[in-house]
Every structure is written in C-alpha cells, then in structure tokens.
Amino acid sequence: MNIDGIPTRTLRAHPERRVIDIIDQTRLPHALHWVRVATLEEAAHAIRAMQVRGAPLIGATAAYGLAIALDFEASDRRLDEAVAVLGATRPTAVNLHWALARMEKHLRPLPAEARCAAAWIEAAAIAEEDVAQNAAIGQHGLKLWNDLIVADGQTLNIMTHCNAGWLATVDWGTALSPVYAAHDAGVPVHVWVSETRPRNQGLLTAWELEQHGVPHTLIADNAAGLLMRSGKVDAVIVGADRIAANGDVANKVGTYLKALACADNGIPFYVAAPRSTLDFACREGADIPIEERDGDEFRLVHGLDQHAQPSALRQLPAGEDVANPAFDVTPNWLVKAIITERGVCPASREGLLALYPEEAGD
C-alpha cells in the first residue's frame, strides 16, 4: 500500500544485518517513525507495547524476532527461551502462536549452526505468504461488494472497527483489503471508521485510508448504530485475532456490538482473516482467552499538546477501578460470512472445513 504515493510495507527485514525495521504504530497518526529491532527483548517489547499490532503482523514480527534471537546462539535452550518470551506477549492473537509453532517445527530438527540462516528464510516466507493471502482476501471480498451494488455509480458505504488494514499485516490488510481492491478497481467506496476506544486504532485506519486516497469518515464508536438505522451503511467488515473451529470470532472489543446492530438492521457483517487466524484446535469462542490490558490505557488519553508534542492527559484518577478487556467474541450466527485467502464460507465448522478439508482430523 502507499505512503505519500510510495509503496510501503509495515516491516522491513535486513537479514544481512540480523535486524528488522518496524513502524512504531504508537506514534501514529501524528508521526511516521521507524524503529529498529535488533534483540529478542526489543521484538517482545514491540509486540507487547503494540508498536506492532494486528494479528498477522504480530505473527510475522514474532517469526523475525525468533530469527533475531538465534543470531549469536541457536542451541535448544536458546530456541526454547525465545519461543517462551515471544509467546508470552499477547495471549489472544493466535497468529503469534501459529508463527512460533511453525518456526519451531522448521528449526528444531536442524543442527544449531544452521538454525539462524534457516530462521530468516522461514520468517521471510511467512511474511510473503501474508502479503499473498491478504491480496487474495481482497479479490474475494471485491466479489461480495459487486453483489451489493444495485445501481451504476453507487457509492458503497462500508463500516469497519479497529484497524485491520495494511498496518495490521505485512501488506494489504484483511478487512480493508477488499476496500482497497474496490478503490483500485474504480468502484466508488466510502468507509465509516469507528474510533475504537480506548487505544483508538480507528485513527490508524483513517491515516492509512488517507494515505491511499480512499474516502472515509471517522466516527465515535457509539454512532455506529445510528448510521446503520439511518440506512447509511451497506456492510460491515472486520478482521479477527482468532476464529474458533465453529466460526465464533474474537476481535477488538466493540466488534460484538456492531454485529448485533447489523443483525437488527439487516446489514451483512463480514469477517476477513487468513488461515493463520483460524484456530481449529479451539472448539468455540468461549474457549478463547481474552487479554486484559493495563488500566492506564483507559485512564489516560494520548495525543499532541498545544506545542505539537506527544502528551498524555489523565481523564480518571490513578486509583479509579477500570476494566479494560482488549477483545470480545462475536458468535457465529451473527456473521454473514468469513472471507479467507481460499474464498468465502459460512461462519461454521462445516463452512471452514469446506475451505480447509485438511483440518478435518483436528
């Protein structure tokens, strides 16, 4: 996708130097700042502090973090340590654990001296697969948009929640990939962007849509129902951090409320995610662990002060008791369809297995 007209990915790997560069997403939308990641600890911090976020990008960053960790030592002990450190950063996003399991399976049989080079190659493969899968999601989603168009020149009004664009992946995005595909194909499209408190990831969505030239409007989270009731929304599409085997979807908190509003207003609610987000070992949404974030994410509001410097404003006393769950679970019956790199399917075990029959034995 584009920044100032220049094709850009969220992650730049430098295997010859054993480092990667990432966009510090905590600095967006006010500043585009690249951060170098050169140690296991820096990779874990980038994931935990949400310098990188979005399930697919977390997975790719973890894969590269493991490669970085094996630079000077690639013993079994070091491999175990790196997997444990990275795996403890974010509990809900299954892509993290999927990527680490894939890396470990690939590296464990190799002699120690061969593991570092192999890790960089495998991490690059994970990143490139993410790009290809997200591009395919865009094309499958574009076909759904075409079904919604009832008149030539009609502007499609799509609503999304959180950020499931290219900032949440290596490139293209998941939920926004069909939006970009439509825009690039000349289909008039407008995006209602939910702010997504308390981390305000909707601001990231608005920033990247602006960079790519896609018309959009940022809204308060609680305005979504009114817009749907007023007939101003044709479809809602979100990404996912984990999809259970039965089609239940864990995504950023607030997703469930949008799905309920869609059901009440007869609006299709779609979920877009690659294979790495599907957890066939997780029977249903009730089995998905929900991450509880630090309460100061709710007590403090971040932005720029009057001198255009990053600043935090306290909106609640430090001792105020708050709950800050990062995700919620949308039951499968509220999901019109799941869009993956292999196609579109019902949000059910049978639907998912129709796309991924090799998982039937799990």
Q: Note the helical H segments in the chain.
A: 40-48, 55-69, 76-87, 94-107, 112-148, 177-184, 202-212, 224-229, 255-265, 296-299, 349-355
Q: What is the pLDDT of residues 63-82, one digit of tens each?
A: 999 999 999 999 999 999 99
Q: What is the pLDDT of residues 294-351, one digit of tens each?
A: 999 999 999 998 998 889 999 999 999 999 999 999 999 999 999 999 999 999 999 9
| Paired residues of 12 in beta bridges | 21
Residue 196 Ramachandran class (φ > 0 left, ψ -120 to 50 alpha, else beta)? left
Annotated active-site residue in 130, 171, 234, 241: 241
151 pLDDT higher than 80: no
Question: Are β-strands 337-340 and 343-345 bridged in parallel, bridged antiparallel, or unpaired?
Answer: antiparallel
**pTM listed for this prediction:** 0.93
Query: Could you tell me where the DSSP H helices lie in 159-273?
Result: 177-184, 202-212, 224-229, 255-265
Q: Which tokens in the block code for residue 32?
A: 């585009």
**What does R_g of the chain's alpha carbons equal in angstroms?**
20
Question: What percentage of the chain reaches a pLDDT higher than 70?
Answer: 99
Rounded to whole angstroms, the Cα distance separating 27 from 31 reads: 5
19-23 and 34-37 strand pairing: antiparallel
> Is the bond preceding 198 in cis, omega lying within 30 degrees of 0?
yes
Return d(Cα 313, Cα 270) in angstroms, integer. 35
Residue 150 — pLDDT band, cuts 50, 70, 90? low
Q: How far apart are CA 330 and CA 8, in angstroms?
A: 32
Question: Is 241 labeled as catalytic in the residue annotation?
Answer: yes
| Positive or negative: CA dihedral 251, 101, 293, 191 | negative
Going by DSSP bridges, is the β-strand pair 6-7/2-3 parallel, antiparallel, or unpaired?
A: antiparallel
Lowest mean pLDDT across 92-101, 178-187, 213-222, 251-260: 92-101
Residue 9 CB neighbours (<10 A): 18
In the beta sheet, which residues pair with residue 345? Answer: 338
When the pLDDT of each residue in the chain is averaged and rounded to a whole number, the result is 95
5, pLDDT greater than 90: no
Position 328, amino acid: D
Distance, in Å, from the CA atom of 49 to the CA atom of 47, rounded to the nearest integer, reads 6
Annotated binding site for substrate: 53-55, 90, 201, 251-252
State in Å, rounded, how far the first CA of the chain is from the last one.
Answer: 36
At position 144, the amino acid (one-letter code) is L
Q: Which residues are documented as binding site?
A: 53-55, 90, 201, 251-252
Cα(247)–Cα(335) distance, integer angstroms: 8
pLDDT of 251 over the 80 cut: yes
- Helix, strand, coil in percent for the chain, rounding step 5: 40, 20, 40
pLDDT (0 to 100) of residue 211: 92
Instruction: Please say if the pLDDT value at position 197 is more than 90.
Output: yes
What length does the chain have? 362
Nearest C-alpha neighbor of 163 from the set 172, 176, 153, 154 = 176
